[in-house]
Amino acid sequence: MATGLPEPEPLRALIDALRSLPGVGVRTARRMAYHLLQHDPEGARHLADTLQAAVGELRHCERCNSFSQTPLCTTCQDPARDPAVLCVVETPADQNMIESSHGYKGLYYVLMGRLAPLEGVGPDQVRFAQLLQRASDGQVKEVILATNFTAEGETTAYYLADMLRNQGLTVTRLARGVPSGSELEYVDAGTIAWALAERR
């Protein structure tokens, strides 16, 4: 970091704290701090309040592991959901994307991570035992693996498929193929290869 002006302490502390946001370096943090102080002090106060509230009030749903204000989240409590299908995702953001497709009516399990041996994240860190217990409730018949199609997501799916099939569960994976609305000319070769291999 280029050290220039001796910044007033509260400003320096704020810039430093903003760097705890993912993808925010010192330059962006400084820009954010100046913006809030100069143009949006009300927004800054509001952000402070919502941060406190979120950290204080949110917990993990006891069944699906996603964020919730109550012991069981609204999705897990919803009687209209099909308890026989369980969709496993890496993060609440992924869960949110699947919900926004309006194509799924079962329940979820959020791993809050994925296997990443290179980063020291193994089956214990992602609490696979908890998922195994959840999937063995006698109601779940099918587990849909919706981890990312990255190296780590695929490894996680592979590992989970093995583990869950041993429990006599049906295990499926999100279809891989050409994205909806895309032109073949601009799709990468790996995707085309998969779309060919999994044609139907």
Q: Closest Cα to residue 31, out of 40, 116, 54?
A: 40
Give the DSSP letter of residue 121.
B
Q: Which one of the spans 64-72, 133-141, 145-153, 166-174 is the region binding a second copy (CB under 8 A)?
A: 64-72
Burial 118-134 (b: 16+ CB within 10 A, else e): eeeeeeeebebeebbeb
Instruction: Write out the binding residues for a second copy, residues 108-167 only, by CB under 8 A.
Output: 112
Q: Collect all residues with Cβ–Cβ distance below 8 Å to 115 and sequence separation of at least 6.
A: 121, 122, 123, 126, 152, 155, 156, 159
Which residue in 79, 80, 93, 120 binds a second copy (CB under 8 A)? 93
Q: Rounded to the nearest 5°, which phi and psi values hold at 2?
A: -75, 115
* Residue from 85, 150, 146 nearest 111 by CA: 146
7: contact with a second copy by CB under 8 A: yes
Whichever of 33 and 88 has its CB closer to a second copy, that residue is 33
CB of 138 to a second copy, least distance (A): 26
Minimum distance of a second copy from residue 82's CB (angstroms): 16
CB 94 within 8 A of CB 88: no
The reply on whether position 188 binds a second copy by CB under 8 A is no
Instruction: Lay out the site mask for a second copy across 16-55 (x = CB under 8 A, - = otherwise).
Output: xxx-xxxx----x-xxxxxxxxx-xx-xxxxxxxxxxxxx
Kindly state whether residue 74 participates in binding a second copy, applying the rule CB under 8 A: yes
The footprint of a second copy (CB under 8 A) covers: 2-11, 13-14, 16-18, 20-23, 28, 30-38, 40-41, 43-58, 66-69, 73-75, 91-93, 95-101, 112
